[in-house]
Structure 1
Amino acid sequence: MSQHFEEEPHNAITDSGIARVIPCKKLEAGDPLKWLALGFRDLLKAPILTVFFGVFFALIPWLITYAVALTGWHLVILPAMVCFMLIGPFLAAGLYDISWELEKGHTPSLWHAVKAVKRNAVNEWGFGILLTVLMIFWLRVASMIHALYPAYLGDNLEELLPFLALGSVVGAAFTAIVFFLSAFTQPILIERKVDLATAVLTSVNAVWLNKGPMFIWAMIIFTAVVIGFLTGFIGFILLMPLIGYATWHGYIDTIEVKRARKYE
């Protein structure tokens, strides 16, 4: 995988002084598809671990949907979907470890993947708390939107449409913010002994400087999530591990490293 880095333009992120920002590569529009191809290769090399983590990812939205069915709060489906996208990067740590082990020529194991979150534990758990806070904040906003829903209106699509549209716009904004914050944060924390601020700002900087390719990558992730929901979550068993593996290769391809990567 080529690692030709261009000098980064100065911007508010790199010049913030809040924390160190690791330089990034200028990506091309086709790079996200390359990450998917490499991720698919990892999927084929570790099928049992892939299915294990995939089942785990499929259970999460099933439990969310089950909770929605118990409460009868139909308007919670949209925020629940966003919540799933919020916690996904943190839960994918084991998948990143599998790709990293394959990159090093090792045989990945479940125990090694489970321990991945412990390598930079304080900052990785801090990242988890950050995502949880954002999730809770989004749920509170969703509750406010739900409170605006007049009790006298029915459940038909025409009457629900204004509230679904409002929820979609707000949810899209939250999802975009989380994507900036988390696109590469978890892989950085797993591989490097850096603080959370450095990892988050590096992720934000990489996405900001590569808005076109990263938008394509975001749409690929969104499409995978939609397919997963349309297939009754069965699709998540393969799609979420694939996205996890591909994200690791996206990190390798995007964030500057001290030595060339050998995994191609």
Structure 2
Amino acid sequence: MSQPFKETPRNAISSSGIGRVIPCKELDVGDPIKWLALGWRDITRAPLLTAFYGLIFAAIPWLITYLVALTGWHLVILPSLICFMLIGPFLAAGLYDVSWELEKGHKPTLWHSIKAVKRNAVNEWGFGILLMVLMIFWLRVASIIHALYPPYLEENLENLLPFLALGSVVGAGFTLLVFFISAFTQPVLMERRVDLATAVLTSMNAVWSNKVPMLIWAAIIATSVAIGFITGFAGFIILMPLIGYATWHGYIDTIEVKRGRHYE
């Protein structure tokens, strides 16, 4: 889809000693819905690849929950699942590649999408390590919260509620930080082959410069995650690929390019 550029807002990050900032465009509040519509079209065009990645996204949180249940550490189920969501943008690289191939008029393949992480390998793996460090830090915080739980208290909802509430607040803070860092970082790295600092700063600038549309987009992602949890992770089979494809279209719509994009 080709659209005329809108007026570019002033960069929230005007200069940096560690990387440059690729300018972003001004979004409308309805743009995230448009991204979902384009993402759904990608699902219909690549149903088998969608099912493959969707099953992976559904299997990982199910496995985490199963293993945690075996240990009896129920207080760390939520942190473990949030950790999965922290590394989700990195795992979605294959989905971005599928949408990119469709944009170019190519037939996407599994092997090509798997190789997507090699396109800018050093910086893409660096991005994965960055998310992993955040995940480990969050796990340490979650462990501290778990350690604060008195061992003599019975594990019921009334006793657990304060600790679950504290964990949810801290987890929401980490999730918001990761959203700023990773909203468009992976697509920028894949297509532009820039350094990690430039991709992260570009993502942060785009989110900050388009607060309302990006908050709507964040709410859509959060709702999709909630539906996935409610459905026993089965909803992730469709919802996670949909979010992945839509993110690629969000990147195309948000980050400025020298030439217009054409995706019919």
Fold conserved (TM > 0.5)? yes
Q: Please give the alpha-carbon distance, in whole angstroms, between the structure 2 residues aligned to 1:164 and 1:229.
A: 16
Structure 1's unaligned 5+ residue stretches are none
Q: Residue 8 of structure 1 aligns to a residue in which SS?
A: coil
Whether the 8 Å contact between 1:42 and 1:102 is mirrored in structure 2 is: yes
Q: TM-score, normalised by structure 2?
A: 0.97
- Which one-letter code corresponds to 2:236 in the other structure? F
Specify the alignment match of 2:99 in structure 1. Answer: 99
2:156 maps to what in 1? 156
Q: Is the 8 A contact 2:11 2:23 kept in 1?
A: no
Q: Partner of 1:90 in structure 2?
A: 90
Could you tell me which amino acid in structure 2 is paired with residue 175 of structure 1?
T
Q: Which residue number corresponds to residue 118 of structure 1?
A: 118
Aligned to 2:217: 217
Q: What is the correspondence of 1:180-199 to structure 2 with a 5 Å cutoff?
A: 180-199=180-199
Partner of 1:261: 261
Q: Structure 1 length normalisation: TM-score?
A: 0.97
Distance, in Å, in 2 between the alignment partners of 1:14 and 1:57 is 36
CA distance in 2, matches of 1:127, 1:248: 17
Distance 2:230 2:125 in 1: 31
After TM superposition, give the deviation of residue 7 of structure 1 in Å: 3.4
Shift of 1:15: 2.2
Residue 179 of structure 1 is matched in structure 2 by: 179
State whether residues 29 and 216 of structure 2, in contact with CA within 8 Å, keep that contact through their aligned partners in structure 1. yes
Counterpart of 2:246 in structure 1 is: 246
Residue 14 of structure 1 deviates from its aligned partner by: 2.3
**In 1, distance between residues paired with 2:147 and 2:211?**
35
User: 1:152 is paired with a residue of what secondary structure?
Assistant: coil
SS of residue paired to 1:17: coil
- Aligned pair 1:76/2:63, yes or no? no
**Quick one: distance in 2 between partners of 1:7 and 1:176?**
24
Distance of 1:120 and 1:222 partners within structure 2: 29
Pairwise CA distance, 1:10? 4.7
Which letter does structure 2 place at the counterpart of 1:85? M
Deviation of 1:18 (Å): 2.3
Q: CA deviation at 1:193?
A: 1.5
Alignment match, 1:7: 8
SS at structure 2 position matched to 1:50: helix
Instruction: Give the alignment of 1:3-42 within 5 angstroms.
Output: 3-11=4-12, 13-42=13-42
Deviations along 1:88-118, one digit per CA (max 9) or x if unpaired, are 0000001000000000111111111111110
The amino acid across from 2:68 in the alignment is: V
Residue 173 of structure 1: how far off its partner (Å): 0.4
Question: Contact 1:5–1:256 (CA<8 Å) still a contact in 2?
Answer: no
Percent of aligned pairs sharing the same letter: 76
> Are 1:22 and 1:256, in contact at CA under 8 Å, matched by a contact in 2?
yes
Residue 6 of structure 1: how far off its partner (Å):
2.0
2:140 alignment counterpart: 140
Cα shift at 1:152: 1.6
Alignment length (residue pairs): 263
Amino acid at match of 2:18: I
Report the residue type matching 1:136 in the other structure. Answer: I
How has the CA–CA distance of structure 1 residues 3 and 253 changed in structure 2, closer, same or farther, with 3 Å as cutoff? farther
SS of 1:262's equivalent in the other structure is coil
How far apart are residue 81 of structure 1 and its match?
2.0
Correspondence list, 1:48-67, <5 A: 48-67=48-67
SS in 2 for 1:153: coil
CA distance in 2, matches of 1:167, 1:134: 15
Structure 2 unmatched ranges of 5 or more: none
Worse overlay, 240-249 or 77-86: 77-86
Q: Judge conservation of contact 2:11–2:209 (CA < 8 Å) in 1.
A: no
For 2:235 and 2:248, the matched residues in 1 are separated by 20
What whole-Å deviation, never above 9, does each CA across 1:226-261 have from its counterpart, x for those lacking one?
111111111111111000000000000000011100
Amino acid at match of 2:48: I
